[in-house]
Amino acid sequence: MNKTTAFVADLIAIIVFAVLARMAHQSADMPFNFGGVLSTLWPFALGLVIGWLVTRGGRGVWIWLITVVVGLAIWGIRNAAIPHWSFILVATIMSALLMLGWRGIYALTQRKNTKANA
């Protein structure tokens, strides 16, 4: 898979993450609408871009870790508070499932294709 496709897949994963977060935690202050999703998305999307730049599109685990750390750090700065441990846990696990999950599925399909062509 080329790096552009991988970056787009990561971006889609982070968009899904933001949509699911807004759906689960909508409130009067943060409704489930485009603005609410965008407010949740941009810190993690910025983290994704930084992760890709730092690793030069390298290993997905590092991209994911940088995405989560930057996203949570921006959240903390915006809210002048350390994120609650449950938010840290859920954000870390969900982003891992989405960002590393597609990589795992892709790797499995590539192995199957390689074996079928051998």
Q: Evaluate whether 20 touches 98 at the Cβ level (below 8 Å).
A: no
| pLDDT above 70: percentage of residues in the chain | 99
Q: What is the pTM of this model?
A: 0.90
Residue 58: which pLDDT band, with cuts at 50, 70 and 90? confident
- Helices 3-24 and 85-117: angle between axes, nearest 10 degrees: 140
Alpha helices of 25-117 — where are they, by DSSP H?
34-55, 60-79, 85-117
- 50: Cα separation from own chain's centroid: 12
Q: What is the pLDDT of residues 22-43, one digit of tens each?
A: 999 888 888 899 998 999 999 9
> What letter represents residue 62's amino acid?
W
